[in-house]
Amino acid sequence: MATGLITVYLLILQAAANLNKPVFYGLVAALALFVVIATARKPQNVLDFFRSLKMAASVLIYFTIAVIIGTLILQNVEPARYLQSYSPGFYKFVKLLTLVDTYHSVWFTGLVLLLNLNILICTLNHLPIKKKKIGFFLIHLSILIVVIGGSISAFFGVKGYLNLHEGDVVSEFQLTQYNQLLDQKRNMGFQLRLDKFEVDHYDPDYRVYVYTRPDSKDKFGMPHSLKTTENAEYPIKKAHGTLKILKFFPDYAVREVAKPADTGPGAVKVMLHQGEHSQEAFFFDTAGDDRFLLPDQQGMIVFKWDMPKNPSAAVSEQKLLTATFPDGSHRLIPVQEGKSYPFTADSTLKIGRFIPSFSIDQKSKQIVSAGSSPDNPAIELIFSDKKTGKTTTQWAFANFPDFTHGKTLPGNATIRFTFVPTLKGKPIYIISADGQYKKTENGKNFEKGKLENNRLTVGNRIFEFSDFMPHAEKSKEELNRSDNPNNPVARIQWIQNDQKETRDLAASDKTATFMDNGRVALLLRNKDDTPKAYRSYVSVLKDGKVVLKKKVQVNSPLAYGGYYFYQSNYNPKDPTYSGISVVRDPGVYIVFLGFLLLTIGGILRFYFKM
Amino acid sequence: MIALIDNFSRISTMLTGLICIYTIAFVLYSISLFMKENSTVYTLGRFSLFVGFIINGWLIVQRWMEASRPPFKTFYESLVFAAFCIILVYLVLELIRKVKLVGVGSILLALGCLLFAVVKVDVEIINLPPALQSGWFIPHVVIYFIGYGALAVSFATGIMYLFFPDAITLDPSTRKGRFFTNALGGEIVDLEAFTHQLIIVGFTFLNMGLLTGSMWAKFAWGDYWFWDPKENWSLITWTIYLAYFHLRYVKGWRGRKAVVFSIIGFAAIVFTYLGMSALPTASMSEHVYTSQ
């Protein structure tokens, strides 16, 4: 009963502390006065109260309830978060009694003090220390020692934080309280330098996750996590199907290659070597695929199966339109600006402007060219109906053959624009299948001859030709570029009711792949993206000289100058950042002493009869 | 419940086997209560329990090897270990006295842990975050779980006491007396005192668990107490048992009152172990199990 009254008084004190400081101090003074008077007038009653087990039990109960409350109410989060979960009225109440920071509140501290006072007086009451009571004394004294140690830590300890980037040298840290950064700084008396920060990751382990549900209206349950072992078959009982892994590419890519064929243009494989870097490509002896413009337009390489006698024709610029009609027929029309060409029986095609690098000016919304380099060749096509005279204008883009504006063209044709560039003022090399080359500039022959080992050197680039194919076709080849998971793709097969469906799952897919009418969902994801470990390599400097080097990791702090430095945090977006918390704790050994005495006391009390 | 049945297709054959063996042991122990003291049924029961215990241990070792880390991170992993610790405590107890009745209760609790493990089975073996990669991880968890094991068995004996509070007063020559003599290993022991002794052992381990946790926190993060929900509830559990001891030793609480109090303590243990995700403050804790 009395303890209950005390607790209520403590809560009132808390409210006062939050509302009106003078009232608070007044109430504290009133309490002190009350205690003094009561002790003076009825010392025995007061003593009996403080050493009674009833009081201890009551305080423990209130203490326990207080601890429980702190686990039910959010502690020390932003006001916005409180208002998300609580009504404004409740939030005000909770703030009034400092329930938002229960364990550091006045009333909680008061309860703890009360408990310790009770232990102290109770222990003193059991003096003198006799052999058979040694366990009791050790246990209770040790608790007092732990609390004293903890108080020393709280009052005389220092806590801070360092936000460091690689290379930073600091001599002071920012103070913190209850995980909040304060504005104050503390000088350490020495310097700390972050030499290096590194994060270890777990090896990538891509898994196919299979989610199942009885019906597409239901929610998905826990997935199956399947390893991407080739040819592994996993029966998924609940979905009545089996998932088979056909192939796994850590770094999937598709490229166009030339494959020998019975018909088709000639082709050649070329390896471009630049310094340490090598790249493979193919030339076809057809318009558009027969040349390669060097970066910065420093030159051009052209491939022709047979070396042309007159190079200018071979290297001239061409604008080609390929019109494909619904009946499958197609026409190749070489065009020039300003000229007109018959298109279908009822229509004519006139060529308007040609823009080498199509772009739209943001301000004037006009079509302009972003440069003379043919980065985005576009041609204006003006179709006119012979009978009505109506015109339809469309731009065709060499780099975006599928972009059609949605317009219907005469004859329901689709048009593809191929731009074959040429180069003025810079050398053009023509290579033929017999290993000959001709170097020409502005149409004038400079050099010709045979390539040495089928290699052509232009500046710091070496072109190596091999696999000359008299007839070849374009073929798409899928490959695994490397063992690094840059673009993981899993080719799987879902087998259900004797039917097999093959799908490719990419780790970059944002949504799942659904099978069996939405009853099964598949995802390819890395099992674990969290770090395995992270550490800071630091140097301690005194007067400019390195006195200590340490690898600071979680669970392995640096101790120097009375401070302990703990690896606290890292930033996944900034690999040079390291968050280090700093602690100076004068009370720690006292607390550990208390722990030791508590352990010994417990063993003596329970296991030995003295 | 549905999850339990669904997940049976996901768990390893060894775990299914373990559940079967423990169930067989449970049945044999239960039957042996009604037979002679050292019946074949009892011997078979002990044998199957021991085999189950070995398999339980092997499951843990196997997971340790597969994961390349101590298997104490997820609900599934820790529940398998909890079952192991309960049976461990019981088997040690059985060496001292053949308290078959306690065996029945303990096996039931272990089965409960394993069935819950099936409900919470892991989708995949997850990796340890840097904070748990410490030499303190194993001792802190093992100490706490042995404590949990002892307190779980104390819960079983406490319940038994509540059902048969006057067992100790029975005349051994009566039918009921003979039943209890058999069930408690040749002599009718005071179940209440028995419970108390188990609580002493359990509480000792809880103490050491609390202290190792504090010391680990100090060395890893710089402070020995963070008022983290899990820490707080372990403290609450500790104070409940603390109150139990004070009420018993100082106020002379015995019998029903004492046992009911200890059962409240055990409820706190279960909540501390399994209930953290129910708390609104759960997201702020490192201690909350990642259940999938």
Of the candidates A68, A207, A566, the beta carbon closest to that of B222 is on A566
B224 falls in which pLDDT band (50, 70, 90)?
Answer: confident
Q: What is the pLDDT of residues A80-111, one digit of tens each?
A: 888 888 888 888 888 888 888 888 888 888 88
Of the candidates B214, B232, B243, the beta carbon closest to that of A71 is on B232
Question: Å from A40 to nearest chain B CA?
Answer: 29
Q: What is the pLDDT of residues A127-165, one digit of tens each?
A: 888 888 888 899 999 999 999 998 898 889 999 999 999
8 Å CB contact between A577 and A207? no
| CB pair distance less than 8 Å for A238 and B6 | yes
Question: Å from B129 to nearest chain A CA?
Answer: 6
Question: Å from B117 to nearest chain A CA?
Answer: 14
pTM for the structure as a whole: 0.80
For the four alpha carbons of B183, B189, B195 and B199, in that order, the dihedral sign comes to negative
Of the candidates B10, B130, B247, the beta carbon closest to that of A533 is on B130
Q: What is the pLDDT of residues B234-281, one digit of tens each?
A: 999 999 999 899 888 888 888 888 899 889 999 999 999 988 888 887
| CB pair distance less than 8 Å for B222 and A583 | yes
Q: Is the pLDDT of residue B158 over 80?
A: yes
B292 falls in which pLDDT band (50, 70, 90)?
Answer: very low
| DSSP result, B172-191 | TTSHHHHHHHHHTTSS---H
Taking the C-alpha atoms of residue B283 and residue A113, their distance in angstroms, rounded to an integer, is: 30
The predicted structure's pLDDT at residue B284: 61
Q: Which residues in chain A have their CB less than 8 angstroms from residue B251's CB? A: 53
Q: What is the mean pLDDT of residues A36-45?
A: 83
Q: State both tokens at B116.
A: 């819950």
Q: What is the pLDDT of residues A536-572, one digit of tens each?
A: 999 999 988 999 999 999 888 999 999 999 999 899 8
| CB pair distance less than 8 Å for B280 and A85 | yes
Flag the least confident range among A488-502, A513-527, B216-230: B216-230
Q: Looking up tokens 């003094």, which residue turns up?
A: A36
Q: What is the mean pLDDT of residues B153-182?
A: 87
Q: Is the pLDDT of residue B286 over 60?
A: no
| CB pair distance less than 8 Å for B246 and A57 | yes
**Chain A, nearest residue to B271 by Cα:** A68
**Length of chain B measured in residues:** 292
| CB pair distance less than 8 Å for B133 and A63 | no
| CB pair distance less than 8 Å for B127 and A85 | no
**Chain B, nearest residue to A153 by Cα:** B223
Mean pLDDT, all residues of chain A: 87
Q: Is the pLDDT of residue B71 over 60?
A: yes
Q: Which residues in chain B have their CB less than 8 angstroms from residue A74's CB? A: 280-281, 284
| CB pair distance less than 8 Å for B204 and A602 | yes
Q: What is the pLDDT of residues A199-234, one digit of tens each?
A: 998 889 999 999 999 888 888 888 999 999 999 999
Q: Is the pLDDT of residue A502 over 60?
A: yes
Q: Is A173 helix (H, G, I), strand (E, B) or coil?
A: strand
For an interface test with A, which of B2, B5, B69, B124 has the most A Cβ atoms less than 10 Å from its Cβ? B124
Question: Mean pLDDT: which of A104-108, A402-406, B137-141, B221-225 is highest?
Answer: B137-141
Q: What is the mean pLDDT of residues B183-212?
A: 90
B291 falls in which pLDDT band (50, 70, 90)?
Answer: very low
The predicted structure's pLDDT at residue A276: 86
What burial class does residue A202 get, using C-beta atoms within 10 Å of its C-beta: 0-12 exposed, 13-18 middle, 19+ buried?
middle
**Chain B, nearest residue to A159 by Cα:** B222
Taking the C-alpha atoms of residue A606 and residue B197, their distance in angstroms, rounded to an integer, is: 9
Kindly compute the dihedral angle of the four CA atoms of residues A426, A432, A434, A436, in this order, to the nearest 10 degrees.
-20
| CB pair distance less than 8 Å for A238 and B9 | yes
Q: Is the pLDDT of residue A323 over 60?
A: yes
Q: What is the pLDDT of residues A420-470, one digit of tens each?
A: 877 777 888 888 888 888 888 876 777 888 888 888 888 888 999 988 899
Q: What is the pLDDT of residues A166-207, one digit of tens each?
A: 999 999 999 988 777 888 899 999 999 999 999 998 889 999
**Chain B, nearest residue to A530 by Cα:** B129
The residue among A84, A115, A80, A106 whose CA lies nearest residue A9 is A106
Between A569 and B86, where is the model more confident? B86
For an interface test with B, which of A60, A119, A222, A593 has the most B Cβ atoms less than 10 Å from its Cβ? A222
Phi–psi pair at B29, nearest 5 degrees: -60, -45
Q: Which residues in chain A have their CB less than 8 angstroms from residue B284's CB? A: 74-75, 77
| CB pair distance less than 8 Å for B222 and A159 | yes
Q: Is the pLDDT of residue A296 over 90?
A: no
Distant-in-sequence contacts of A138-142, Cβ < 8 A, 24+ apart: A138/A597, A138/A598, A138/A600, A138/A601, A138/A604, A138/A605, A139/A597, A139/A598, A139/A601, A139/A602, A139/A605, A140/A601, A141/A597, A141/A601, A142/A594, A142/A595, A142/A596, A142/A597, A142/A598, A142/A601
Of the candidates B134, B239, B284, the beta carbon closest to that of A64 is on B239
Q: Which residues in chain A have their CB less than 8 angstroms from residue B246's CB? A: 53, 56-57
Taking the C-alpha atoms of residue B29 and residue B52, their distance in angstroms, rounded to an integer, is: 14
8 Å CB contact between A58 and A4? yes
- In chain B, alpha helices (H): 2-7, 13-32, 40-67, 75-96, 100-119, 137-163, 175-183, 191-221, 229-249, 255-274
Percent of chain A scored above 90 by pLDDT? Answer: 29
**Chain B, nearest residue to A64 by Cα:** B236
Q: State both tokens at A588.
A: 């720690």
Q: Which residues in chain B have their CB less than 8 angstroms from residue A64's CB? A: 236, 239-240
Q: Is the pLDDT of residue B54 over 60?
A: yes
Taking the C-alpha atoms of residue B109 and residue B91, their distance in angstroms, rounded to an integer, is: 14
| CB pair distance less than 8 Å for A207 and B124 | yes
Of the candidates B124, B207, B221, the beta carbon closest to that of A602 is on B207
Question: Å from A500 to nearest chain B CA?
Answer: 23
The residue among B200, B114, B210 whose CA lies nearest residue B157 is B200
The residue among A57, A146, A155, A149 whose CA lies nearest residue A104 is A155
Q: Which residues in chain B have their CB less than 8 angstroms from residue A602's CB? A: 204, 207
Q: What is the ipTM of this complex?
A: 0.87
Instruction: Return the half-sphere exposure (C-beta side, CA atoms, 13 A cut-off) of residue A249.
Output: 16
**Chain B, nearest residue to A71 by Cα:** B229
**Chain B, nearest residue to A570 by Cα:** B130
| CB pair distance less than 8 Å for B9 and A237 | yes
Q: What is the pLDDT of residues B12-26, one digit of tens each?
A: 899 999 999 999 999
Percent of chain A scored above 70 by pLDDT? Answer: 99
| CB pair distance less than 8 Å for B280 and A557 | no
Question: Å from A437 to nearest chain B CA?
Answer: 60
Q: Which residues in chain A have their CB less than 8 angstroms from residue B218's CB? A: 588
Of the candidates A72, A554, A603, the beta carbon closest to that of B220 is on A554
The predicted structure's pLDDT at residue A307: 85
Q: Is A474 helix (H, G, I), strand (E, B) or coil?
A: strand
Between B35 and B88, where is the model more confident? B88
Of the candidates A53, A67, A531, the beta carbon closest to that of B236 is on A67
Q: Is the pLDDT of residue A530 over 50?
A: yes
Taking the C-alpha atoms of residue A561 and residue A553, their distance in angstroms, rounded to an integer, is: 19
Question: Å from A223 to nearest chain B CA?
Answer: 7
Of the candidates B134, B243, B279, the beta carbon closest to that of A60 is on B243
How many Cβ contacts (< 8 angstroms) between chains A and B?
120
Question: Å from A499 to nearest chain B CA?
Answer: 24
| CB pair distance less than 8 Å for B220 and A528 | no
Of the candidates B207, B229, B236, the beta carbon closest to that of A598 is on B207
8 Å CB contact between B148 and B273? yes
Percent of chain B scored above 90 by pLDDT? Answer: 58
Between B20 and A61, where is the model more confident? B20
Between A50 and B89, where is the model more confident? B89
**Chain A, nearest residue to B204 by Cα:** A602
Q: Is the pLDDT of residue B225 over 60?
A: yes
Of the candidates B9, B232, B251, the beta carbon closest to that of A67 is on B232
Q: Which residues in chain A have their CB less than 8 angstroms from residue B292's CB? A: 222
The predicted structure's pLDDT at residue A404: 66
Of the candidates A60, A77, A225, the beta carbon closest to that of B239 is on A60
Of the candidates B123, B130, B279, the beta carbon closest to that of A222 is on B123
The residue among A145, A5, A142, A115 whose CA lies nearest residue A50 is A115
The predicted structure's pLDDT at residue B289: 62
